[in-house]
Amino acid sequence: MAKAAGQWFTLREYAERFRLPLATVQKRVEAGELVKKRVDGLNYLWAGEEEVVPPEPAPAAAFEPEPVASPEFQPPAASQELMLRTDRALSLVEKSLNTFMLMHREVVKEKERRLLELQGQVREKEERRRELEKILHQREQEIADLKMLAGLLEDQLRRAGAEAGSALAEDKARELGDLIQDQLTYLMEDEMVRELTKA
């Protein structure tokens, strides 16, 4: 078989090579004036000697340019240094923030502990105050009872002095009643003071 002297072209390549309108090339293909072959969905036209058998057109992939490997992007040295500094700064900020948060938690825990302690002390003081109020009320009642008793004693002594008909006896009875009442009041107040100082 004779070697084909020619080349396969796509419709557009054929029109550009022979400076023909694309519509004219398509009409010549439809009229059967040009040798046509379809490969990989594309129509190829043979341009060369017609008496020889043309070779098979190469697949479309053969005409695709080889991919060019793009070089990997390398940032400038200044940008790399800036990125390193930024990373270090962010790391320091993160550590500082973590430390601050830990300290804050410890302070909050201590405040809560102190608050609970103070609340306990307040409850104890309140209970002690109620106890003292109760004791005070009891002592006031006891003093009132003692005053009443001292009054009764004075009346008895006064009656005894009146029966004896002696003014001196009445004065002595009054003095004795006052003395008893003062002594009882002093004893009660002294006991109250001791109870209060215990708090």
Measuring CA to CA, how many Å separate 25 from each of 8, 11, 86, 104? Answer: 14, 7, 64, 84
Q: Does residue 182 lie in a domain region? A: yes
pLDDT tens digits, one per residue of 61-103: 445 555 555 555 555 677 888 888 898 899 899 889 999 899 9
Sheet of 36-39, strands arranged across: 6-10, 42-48, 36-39
Rounded Cα distance, 42 and 14, in Å = 13
Distance from C-alpha of 85 to C-alpha of 77, rounded to nearest angstrom: 12
Q: Name the least confident of 4-8, 22-26, 42-46, 67-71.
A: 67-71
Domain-located, residue 70: no
Q: What is the mean pLDDT of the chain?
A: 80
- Residues in a beta bridge with 173: none
Contacts for 42 with CB less than 8 Å, ≥ 6 apart: 10, 60
- 191 within some domain: yes
pLDDT of residue 157: 80
Q: Is there a single domain that holds both residue 54 and residue 120?
A: no
Non-local CB neighbours of 4 within 8 Å, separated by 6+ positions: 48, 49, 52, 53, 54, 55
Q: Are residues 183 and 122 both part of a single domain?
A: yes
> Is 103 part of any domain?
no
Q: What is the arithmetic mean of pLDDT over 112-138?
A: 92
Split into its structural domains, the chain has a count of: 2
Residue 49 lies in a domain: yes
d(CA 51, CA 135): 138
pTM above 0.85, yes or no: no
> Does 74 fall in a domain?
no
Determine, yes or no, domain membership for 185. yes
Average pLDDT over residues 31-58: 75
56 plus 118 within the same structural domain:
no
Q: Is residue 144 part of a domain?
A: yes
Residue 139 domain boundaries? 112-198
pLDDT at position 51: 43
The residue ranking higher by pLDDT, 72 or 122, is 122
Which residues is 8 bridged to in the sheet? 46
Q: Among 43-47, 53-57, 117-121, name the one with the lowest average pLDDT.
A: 53-57
CATH for 42: 1.10.10
